[in-house]
A and B are shown apart, each in its own frame.
Chain A
Amino acid sequence: MSPARRALLAGLLSVSGLSGCLSTETGSEANERPTQSTNTVGQDDDPTVLQIRSTDDEPILSETTEESISAVRNELVTNRDRLDELSVATGVSDEDREAIQTFLDKTEYATESIFITHSRITSCNRFQIRSVSWDGTDIEYRYCRELRPPEASCVTDSWETVGLLFRIPATLPSSASLGGRGGHSPCQRSSTTYHRIDANATVVGNTTAVETPDTRSNSSGDVS
């Protein structure tokens, strides 16, 4: 897709998304399924994932038909046509709504699939997705949980729903679904910088209240 066309579509997205469905394209190009063989087994250790938080405990996407609107909790989106039937839930902020639309729009459905799932997490934590793998019709992902940065506004012990949108670099059969997930908490490694509040925390004076044998003999303090 050319940049100009993408820019034009982005404008359309914001309008159509707000009004309901997520479809951004019409015509044969969007409907085409890849003709090359599908890569049904693989793993991505640095997956492209969009995470959207929802405080109202509802999935971030819903499916609209003539008869009803139903929540979409787990789904593999394999073609752009499907976006016609999906819409962003009302509880999602405008900023996140735009992020979802952009994410879906930037997906090349000829070679990629979008896997949508949801998970629960406390308000002050977030997921780090470590990998996603797919094997036939099973999709699995691995994660860890870590504390959000100091400036993230959150409420202790409050739970939220997180919508996870994985961009999988493979065209998977539409029957593929969540086969499992595994993780641990807290993350062993984190790239998050937590030193962000502009202040100091210097404790004045000695590190002890009274002398200990080693501080008596070595008044310079730390011996390690």
Chain B
Amino acid sequence: MSRRLTRRQALAAVGGVAVAGCITRAPQFWENPPSFDTAGLDAILDEPVPDRPQLASISFESAVAAQFVDRVERLLAPIPNPLPESRLPNSAIRSQITTERRAAREQLPTRYDDHPPFELAERFAEARGHAATAVGTWAAVTTEGEPTAVTDGAGTVRSRVDQLGDTLPGRASDPVAGTAVYGSIERWLDVAERRTLFSSTSISAQEDPLRTGRTVGEIERIQSQIEAGGYLQAQYLETIEEPQTIDRPLRAGIDTLGRDIEEWIQELHDEKEDRLFRYPGIEAFFDRQPVAENAPSLKLLSRALRRTYEDIRFDPVAVEDYEPTHPATTLCRTMLTLVQLSACDELGGLIEDGENLFPEDGATVDSARGEAIGSVVGLAEATNPLQRWLATQILPLFDEPETILSAESPTTREITRAYTEYRWISLVASESESVVSTASEALSS
């Protein structure tokens, strides 16, 4: 539990008095923002974002990777290339086919060994999903096409998800390493079960071809994840000299992290158990607010807390006697949630100290980016696989600020948003070590 939150509890009564009766409109940050000097933005993206780290010493054999690529090409083969308007006048249908075909090819790597195996597996899944969407759509509008013949049915794929799930988490060299590897594979199954493979999911040739194509693509993507998951599990098992079961350590780890999460949430809601899943509001993270309303730091905290609460509500996070279907992924997601809550608390401390997180100039943004990259490199190169796993989760956070800063002329507000996102990355990375330490101790006890 955070030191700051405990102090805040003591100050809560004082805060309540301080705000009582205050009805004047607080100054709004963007009504009178400080000036921003763009100097230092020119070469800000020169240093590349770190590569995704390896979770275990395994790789995708070239021959196996080639089979995944072959499946993508076989899926795309029946679609005329080019597909002109004269052949398919309806532009919505034509566009879905051609866009998905292009996206499928873009996902295919030029060199297999440039990517860690889990990234490669995700790229293959995306590529197969896009390719199947394209051909599924084409099959739905052709006289001889049969969308149900493109990929296996939802029932078949659902039973394969169950079969693979039954073997997870498998044996591992140790509980920490096993959690990182199996947590990643289980995550594919977890998302597939919760977001795609409903009892009503089926490929119907009678439906709108756009929907039919998308369903075919989603099922094919999951099928690819099952194949890659089974393959990577086998690869990992081959590297282990003395495999051990990790079910019991995982249970202990989930219990420990689950208690931490509940303590956090109870405190955010002043011990009111019936409100555990309700968004608590950013005010729970600071006692005084010496920054203007809508200051970038407040907006960042608001975004971060909302994202965290979405995870708590919808992801497999160990709250309130949650019984995990996928224990390794539950431990990983609970750990990530704890890291985010700790980072929110740290951000609350910065706000109390008067930090509005507005960058004075481009050099400040550049420095924040460098710090963010450095902090993630630290995680990616850590010996603890759970720190490396957290790096894989933090790396996508670079996408938004990088997109903003690569635009031709981003506004000061947009640059500020990018800056706050870099600061958030550093905060999350800096909170990772202690949470991973707690998780690792619980797994090893």
Contacts of A187 in B (CB 8 A): 208
Do A199 and B80 touch (CB < 8 A)? Answer: yes
Determine whether B224 belongs to the interface, using a CB cutoff of 8 Å to chain A. Answer: yes
Q: Within the complex, which residue of B89, B92, B139 is in contact with A151, where a contact is CB–CB below 8 Å?
A: B89
Chain A CB within 8 A of B194 CB: no
Q: Which residues in B have their C-beta under 8 angstroms from that of A190?
A: 206-208
User: Would you call B378 an interface residue if the criterion is a C-beta within 8 Å of the partner chain's C-beta atoms?
Assistant: no
CB-CB contacts below 8 Å: A26-71 with B: none
Q: Which residues of B lie under 8 Å from residue A204 when comparing CB positions?
A: 74, 77
Given A207-B152, A209-B224, A214-B160; A201-B91 close (CB under 8 Å): no
Instruction: Assess whether B145 is in contact with A195, with CB atoms less than 8 Å apart.
Output: yes
Q: Does B93 sit at the interface, judged by CB under 8 A?
A: yes
The answer to whether B231 touches A214, judged by C-beta atoms less than 8 angstroms apart, is no
Nearest CB in chain A: distance from B381 CB, A: 31
Task: Tell whether A147 pairs with B208 under 8 Å between CB atoms, given A203-B75, A209-B128, A210-B68.
Answer: yes
Q: How close is B157's CB to chain A, nearest CB, in angstroms?
A: 9
B227–A212 touching, CB < 8 Å: yes
Chain B residues with CB below 8 A from A146, complex form: 208
How many of A's residues come within 8 Å of B, CB to CB?
Answer: 42
Q: Which of A124, A199, A208 contacts B92 (CB 8 A)?
A: A124
Judged by a CB distance under 8 angstroms, whether B79 is at the interface is yes
Q: Which of B58-113 contact A (CB under 8 A)?
A: 64, 67-68, 70-71, 74-75, 77-80, 85, 87-93, 95
Residues of B within 8 A of A201 (CB): 78-79, 135, 138-139, 142, 144-146, 150
B370: interface (CB < 8 Å): no
Q: Which residues of B contact A212 (CB under 8 A)?
A: 160, 163-164, 226-227, 230
Q: Which of A149, A202, A209, A222 contacts B144 (CB 8 A)?
A: A202
Chain B contacts for A123, CB-based, 8 A: 91
CB of B415 closer than 8 Å to a CB of A: no
Q: Please choose the segment from A105-113, A153-161, A162-170 that sits at the chain B interface, where 4 or more of its residues have CB less than 8 A away.
A: A153-161
Query: Is A197 part of the contact surface with B, judged by Cβ < 8 Å?
Result: yes
State whether the Cβ of B141 lies closer than 8 Å to any Cβ in chain A. Answer: yes
In chain A, what residue has the closest Cβ to B70? A209
Question: Closest chain A residue to B93 by CB distance?
Answer: A150
Chain A residues 110 to 135 lying within 8 A of chain B, measured CB to CB, are 122-125
Q: Which of A124, A186, A202 is B90 in contact with, Cβ under 8 Å?
A: A124
Q: A150-B90, A151-B90, A202-B144 are in contact. Are A209 and B210 (CB under 8 A)?
A: no
Per the bound structure, the CA–CA distance linking A213 and B149 in Å amounts to: 21
C-alpha gap A151/B209 in the complex (Å): 13
Chain B contacts for A213, CB-based, 8 A: 160, 163-164, 230
By secondary structure, the B interface counts as helix
Chain B residue numbers with a CB within 8 Å of A203 are 74-75, 77-78, 135, 149-150
Contacts of B108-142 to chain A: CB distance below 8 A: 124, 128, 135, 138-142
User: B residues within 8 A CB of A214?
Assistant: 156, 159-160, 163
Within 8 A of A (CB), among B211-234: 211, 223-224, 226-227, 230-231
Task: Return chain B residues, CB-CB under 8 Å to A147.
Answer: 90, 92-93, 208-210
- A153→B120 CA distance, assembly (Å): 39
Which of B95, B124, B144, B155 is close to A224, meaning CB atoms less than 8 Å apart?
B155
A95 at the interface (CB under 8 A from B): no
**CB nearest to B209 among chain A residues:** A194
A148 neighbours in B (Cβ, 8 Å): 90
Interface: A4 (CB within 8 A): no
- Which residues of chain A are within 8 angstroms of B74 by Cβ–Cβ distance? 203-205
Known: A150-B209, A207-B223, A210-B64. A200 touches B145 (CB 8 A): yes
Check: B143 CB closer than 8 A to any chain A CB.
yes
Q: Smallest Cβ distance from A164 to chain B, in angstroms? A: 22
A223 at the interface (CB under 8 A from B): yes
* In contact, B143 and A152 (Cβ under 8 angstroms): no
A205 to B74, CA, bound (A): 8
Is residue B284 contacting chain A, with contact meaning CB distance below 8 A? Answer: no
Q: Which residues of A contact B146 (CB under 8 A)?
A: 201-202
Q: Which of A194, A208, A222 contacts B140 (CB 8 A)?
A: A194
Say yes or no: A150 contacts B88, CB within 8 Å.
Answer: yes
State A186–B142 Cα separation when bound (angstroms).
21
Contact A196 B91 (CB under 8 A): no
CA–CA, A78 and B145, complex, Å? 49
User: How far, in whole Å, are A149 and B90 apart by their CA atoms in the complex?
Assistant: 7
Q: Chain A contacts of B91 at CB under 8 A?
A: 123-124, 153-156
In the bound assembly, the distance between CA atoms of A156 and B93 in angstroms comes to: 9
Taking the closest CB of chain A, its distance from the CB of B151, in whole angstroms, is 6
Contact, CB under 8 Å: B156 / A223: yes
> In the complex, how many angstroms separate the beta carbon of B167 from the nearest chain A beta carbon?
8
In the assembled complex, how far is the CB of residue A148 from the closest CB belonging to chain B, in whole angstroms? 6
**Contact, CB under 8 Å: B159 / A199:** no
Specify which chain B residues have a CB less than 8 angstroms from the CB of A125 in the assembled complex: 92
The answer to whether A196 and B70 touch across the interface, beta carbons within 8 angstroms, is no
Q: How far is B209's CA from A196's CA once the two chains are assembled, in angstroms?
A: 11
Closest 4 CB pairs of A and B: A200-B144, A201-B145, A124-B92, A201-B139
Can you give 30 contacting A-B residue pairs, CB < 8 Å?
A124-B90, A149-B90, A151-B89, A152-B90, A153-B85, A153-B89, A156-B92, A186-B208, A190-B206, A195-B140, A197-B141, A197-B143, A200-B143, A201-B139, A201-B142, A203-B74, A203-B78, A203-B135, A203-B150, A205-B71, A208-B227, A209-B124, A209-B224, A210-B64, A212-B164, A212-B230, A213-B164, A214-B156, A214-B163, A224-B159
Listed in ascending order, the chain A residues whose CB lies under 8 Å from chain B are: 122-125, 146-156, 186-187, 190, 194-205, 207-214, 221-224
Which residues of B approach A to under 8 Å, CB–CB?
Answer: 64, 67-68, 70-71, 74-75, 77-80, 85, 87-93, 95, 124, 128, 135, 138-146, 149-153, 155-156, 159-160, 163-164, 205-211, 223-224, 226-227, 230-231
- Other A-B contacts than A147-B92, A150-B141, A199-B80, 6 sampled, CB-CB below 8 A, are A154-B89, A186-B208, A197-B141, A200-B78, A200-B145, A209-B124
